[in-house]
Amino acid sequence: MKMHQMGSLRLIQLHDGYGAIDGNRVFYPAKQHEWEEGLAPDPIGFMLNAYQPLLIIEGEQYTLVDTGFGEANPNRKGDLREELAQMRISAEQITRVITTHAHGDHVGGNTITRDGVPVPAYPNAEYIVQEREIAAMRESNDELWRLRFAPLEQEGQLRLVEGEVALSEAITLWPMAGHTEGQQGLRISSGGQHAVFVGDLALSYKNFENPPWGSSWAWSREHDEANRRKVAEWAVEHEAMIIMYHDPRTPWIRLQRAGDGYIATPVA
């Protein structure tokens, strides 16, 4: 669990477990000998992968960014709800949930099962997602929609937005299409300090150091790289901290320009 005081805000990165991921797909089209240094992959290229939602405490407002795997993966060796309980923060205290994108490891914890029925895991929260991100699965009524989003809509807790939206003086939604069609991150500012949470725009600091290296399964590799460069430039100009969801060793970094890429420095 990492904590950082930013002006009047408290940023806490929670853990919802660990898994493994194919680095050759994370850093496509790079080859393993190009990306492996410092990441300790196994012989076939799989490396450690973390699931790390962000909690933002803003006065009496508790904002959770992504909800992890939840019940969808009971073997993930971690549970963000247990970490919340350790901090004496109840599910009822979460007032806002921001969904970066609709992949299972980011939205599995949107709901919990009660008497065989999925219900919102955070009963007092407004769940915020880009309309563009869920339009297709909503129309097709697929399983992810039925289990992780429809129960939110039924309870009046689902808020669909379009584009950049300021949620408060400190938090602004920032569309970052590429990994998925409607992925969003967020800019965070308080006390003259800045941060940006990037969802899966980068799964590792090396995606920022080498912007062309991106997930092979991206909805658009072109948009993915373009938005990675856009965010990197904003972060350099604002001396902003970048917060990543999946990087298990260096989830918080700052960037400096270096040729056509960047050099990442971990933030303690």
pLDDT at 72 over 80: no
**Rounded distance between C-alpha atoms, residue 137 and residue 142, angstroms:** 6
Q: What is the pLDDT of residues 191-220, one digit of tens each?
A: 999 999 999 999 999 999 999 999 999 999
Dihedral over alpha carbons 93, 99, 100, 104 (to 10 degrees): 110
pLDDT score of 268: 85
The CATH code belonging to domain 2-266 is 3.60.15.10
Q: What is the pLDDT of residues 81-115, one digit of tens each?
A: 999 999 999 999 999 999 999 999 999 999 999 99
- pLDDT class for 77, splitting at 50, 70, 90? confident
Residue where the block lists tokens 């960037």: 255
Query: What phi and psi values does residue 104 have, to the nearest 5 degrees?
Result: -55, -35
Strands (E), the chain: 2-6, 9-13, 18-22, 46-50, 54-58, 61-65, 96-98, 111-114, 117-120, 126-130, 158-161, 165-166, 171-175, 184-190, 193-197, 241-243, 252-258, 261-266
Predicted structure pTM score: 0.96
Six-digit token pair at 10?
A: 């408290």
Q: Average model confidence (pLDDT) for the chain?
A: 95
CA 88, chain centre distance (Å)? 23
Six-digit token pair at 245?
A: 């969801």
Q: What is the pLDDT of residues 137-196, one digit of tens each?
A: 998 899 999 999 999 999 999 999 999 999 999 999 999 999 999 999 999 999 999 999
User: What residue spans define the domains of the chain?
Assistant: 2-266
